[in-house]
Amino acid sequence: MKQKNIKFTWCKDTIINAVGNDIFTAIFIKKDGSERKMVCRFVADKGKLAIGEHDRILTVKEMLKKPQFRRVNLDTLASIKHGGITYNFN
């Protein structure tokens, strides 16, 4: 599996363009400090047009559990796995 280390200057639109409507794995740090791994799909109509503080939040649909909408804070995003490539943010 390929890995790419990326300085976290990506904006929400760049991540959306990278994953499109495909299923991907997001690994992020929760508010309590623990790591969370989630298989999800981006939801365009739920989060793309958000502005202001919501610019740093990605709305996704969790796929493995009962499908539910979740919000991922981009400032705590550690990595995304998509298309055989792991994007590590630092």
Q: Which has more confidence, 22 or 52? A: 22
pLDDT at 50: 47
Q: What angle do CA 46, 7, 79 make, to 5 degrees?
A: 55
In this predicted structure, the answer to whether residue 59 has a pLDDT above a threshold of 90 is: no
Q: In this structure, what CATH number is given to the domain that contains residue 80?
A: 2.30.30
In this predicted structure, the answer to whether residue 32 has a pLDDT above a threshold of 70 is: yes
- In the chain, the N- to C-terminal Cα span, in Å, equals 19
pLDDT at 39: 94
Token couple for 72 = 């991922």
In this predicted structure, the answer to whether residue 9 has a pLDDT above a threshold of 60 is: no
Q: What is the count of structural domains for the chain?
A: 1
pTM for the predicted model, two decimal places? 0.77
Q: The domain containing residue 13 runs over which residues? A: 2-89
